[in-house]
A and B are shown apart, each in its own frame.
Chain A
């Protein structure tokens, strides 16, 4: 038994290495090539700064970058949570009222294809100039539609055999919702969340380009680049990357905690098996 245990753990390590190694090698080569290129051709800092410079500035200015990350991150997080809650709530309402569904769903799908974050310019006019509300509202809206479209689909597209089976048990609509539709929608919810989480971060700092307080990552990137502090600007870009990754990881980890057996995998099997 212990033999088999250590055997599988060795296998795990090998599998892990297989997954982790290629991107790490690629990253090291990429940044190495960048560094060498800048040095070899004596590229001027106003055109391209070497990664070592960026890392230096990132560490030097970490407090400032962290403060900006917290501003943009808070906007993204609040928008993500409110948008997800509203999206889930609305998908239940749509399930209940078919007519509403026929109106809202095509609209939602269409809106998903449009860069609606430009609406933040409109929202900025509605609130005080220093308010974070327009940005949060924008993130909420973007997340809301992604979650709504996916969860509504998950609640509706249930296996026909499951529905017949529940009917044969004389189950009420409420029971079908609780035992069939909601569990069926959970993988759809996490698919939506994995799309929406990084999108929330992107929306949060793109929103900053449309005015308001000069305190977020988006503001800092533009202001530093504009004043020729290229390496600082890049350092903030690095902060933005970290924030986006953190949000995506949050969604992935949440999915693993809630559905330990791999919900996405399960949904695919469910569908192909049917």
Chain B
């Protein structure tokens, strides 16, 4: 139950009655265990995420950030250690659809209209037709695509498709949103726009977010905490607090504090590269 190294004050402060959004202890994941090609994807991962927090996972390819996200989602089973989501074991949380998920590919079903894509998780939860249609329209308004309900996914741009995917992930109002590089395939302008919208949506719905990304500015702009990970074997090396306040807008991107945090994350990541080679030579 101990908090993780360097965890932000907001991670522990709210641990009153509400359970933590995510609680990971002693997590280890080995792919192809007991075989010649066994890969240690994650070791010694402890991480606690408070309700309403926005946490990014960042690190070079192969550091296990996507694996960690899939372990939280219970799309993968851990080799050892525990994952609690919303106070329940991850498997139970998945059964209860306690989280929504969005991927780099929007993953929209091309044979379903936009509104029916958003209805899908509700349909699987057994909601009635009128009820889920109403919620889907509400979600479409939230992502500012109210006029596109009847469109087919391929009629939308990449950014719009991703917004539909986010609307779908949040349709059932899950307390937790898991995102795996959701803006990775978008151009820079669309990407910044989507980041701002995501923050607004999360603030309005008070959703906790775990966000995997390759981009340092993206991680800093969005997050309360940035979790820096390193490969071979995948592990958490540093957790960096980002105290840019809750009202982040386009001016935030120009702020000195913003650059300060970017530098902090970059240095943490650079430390990883050093670690891989001979240590401490180029530390100027």
Are B152 and A175 within 8 A (Cβ)? no
- Residues of B within 8 Å of A170, CB to CB, are 94-95, 97, 124
The A131-169 residues at the B interface (CB cut-off 8 A) are: 159, 161-162, 164-165, 167-169
B124 lies within 8 A of A180 (CB): no
Question: How big is chain A's contact interface, by range?
Answer: 20 to 34
Please, which residues of chain A bring their CB within 8 A of the CB of B100? 168
A273 within 8 A of B: yes
Which A residues are in CB contact (< 8 Å) with B57?
none
Most A CB within 10 A of own CB, among B94, B107, B121: B107
B154 with A273: CB separation less than 8 A = yes
**Interface presence of B110 (CB below 8 A):** yes
> Quick one: closest B residue to A182, CB to CB?
B111
Q: With the chains together, A159 CA to B73 CA distance in Å? A: 19
In the complex, B179 has a CB within 8 A of chain A = no
Is A270 an interface residue when CB atoms closer than 8 A count as contact?
yes
Q: Is the CB of A161 within 8 A of B120?
A: no
Given contacts A165-B101, A167-B75, A261-B152, contact A183 B109 (CB under 8 A): yes
User: What residues of B have a CB within 8 angstroms of the CB of A273 in the complex?
Assistant: 105, 110, 154
Residues from chain B with Cβ under 8 Å of A183 in the complex: 109, 111
Please report the C-alpha to C-alpha distance between residue A57 and residue B255 in the assembled complex, in whole angstroms.
88
Q: A167-B75, A171-B124, A175-B124 are in contact. Are A161 and B95 (CB under 8 A)?
A: no
Decide if B258 is an interface residue (CB 8 Å cutoff): no
- Kindly identify, within residues 88 to 115 of chain B, every residue whose CB is under 8 Å from any CB belonging to chain A: 94-95, 97, 99-101, 103, 105-107, 109-111
A168: contacting residue among B73, B109, B111, B152, CB under 8 A = B73
Taking CB as reference atom, which chain A residue is nearest B158? Answer: A273
In chain A, residues 56-98, which have Cβ atoms closer than 8 Å to a Cβ of chain B?
none
In the complex, the answer to whether B94 meets A168 with C-beta atoms within 8 Å is: yes
Distance from A186 Cβ to chain B, minimum over Cβ atoms (Å):
8
B103 touching A180, Cβ below 8 Å: no
Q: Are B107 and A162 in contact (CB under 8 A)?
A: yes
The answer to whether B110 and A269 touch across the interface, beta carbons within 8 angstroms, is: yes
Docked pose: A274 CA to B107 CA in angstroms:
8
- Given the known inter-chain contacts A162-B107, A167-B75, A168-B75, please indicate yes or no for A270 contacting B99, CB distance below 8 A: no
For A175, list chain B residues within 8 Å (CB).
124
Whether A12 is near chain B, meaning CB under 8 Å from some CB there, is no
Q: Are A168 and B99 in contact (CB under 8 A)?
A: yes
Tell me whether A266 and B110 are in contact in the complex, defined as CB-CB below 8 angstroms, given that A161-B103, A170-B97 are known contacts.
yes
Residue of A nearest to B154 (CB): A269
Q: Known contacts being A164-B75, A261-B152, A266-B154, is A169 close to B107, with CB within 8 Å?
A: no
Residues of B within 8 A of A168 (CB): 73, 75, 94, 97, 99-101
Question: Once the chains bind, are B97 and A169 in contact (CB under 8 Å)?
Answer: yes
Smallest Cβ-Cβ distance to B104: which chain A residue: A161
What is the bound-complex CA distance between A261 and B103, given in angstroms? 26
The interface residues of chain A lying within 8 Å CB-to-CB of B120 are: 169, 179
- B131-160 toward A: CB 8 Å interface, digit per residue (1/0)? 000000000000000000000101000000
Residue from B95, B103, B106, B109 within 8 A of A164 (CB atoms): B103
- A260-274 interface (Cβ within 8 A of B): 261, 266, 269-270, 273-274
Closest B residue to A184 by beta carbon equals B111
> A170-B94, A179-B120 known; A165 and B111 CB under 8 Å?
no
Docked CA distance A266–B106 (Å): 16
A268's nearest neighbour on chain B, judged by CB, is B154
Contacts of B110 in A (CB 8 A): 266, 269-270, 273
Task: Name the distance in Å between B135's Cβ and chain A's nearest Cβ.
Answer: 15
Taking the nearest CB of chain B, how far is it from the CB of A150, in angstroms?
17
The 0/1 profile, CB within 8 Å of B marked 1, for residues 163-206 of chain A is 01101111100010001100110100000000000000000000
User: Chain B residues with Cβ under 8 A from A269's Cβ?
Assistant: 110, 154
- In the A-B complex, the 10 residue pairs with the smallest Cβ-Cβ separation, listed nearest first, are A161-B107, A270-B110, A269-B154, A183-B111, A168-B101, A161-B105, A169-B124, A170-B95, A161-B103, A165-B107
Cβ contacts A to B, 30 pairs, < 8 Å: A162-B107, A162-B109, A164-B75, A164-B101, A164-B107, A165-B107, A167-B75, A167-B94, A168-B73, A168-B97, A168-B99, A168-B100, A169-B97, A170-B95, A170-B97, A170-B124, A171-B124, A175-B124, A179-B109, A183-B109, A183-B111, A186-B111, A261-B152, A266-B111, A266-B154, A269-B110, A269-B154, A270-B154, A273-B105, A274-B105
* A interface residues with partner B (beta carbon < 8 Å): 159, 161-162, 164-165, 167-171, 175, 179-180, 183-184, 186, 261, 266, 269-270, 273-274
Given contacts A169-B120, A170-B95, 13 further A-B contacts (CB under 8 A): A161-B106, A162-B109, A165-B103, A168-B73, A171-B124, A175-B124, A179-B109, A179-B120, A184-B111, A266-B110, A270-B154, A273-B110, A274-B105
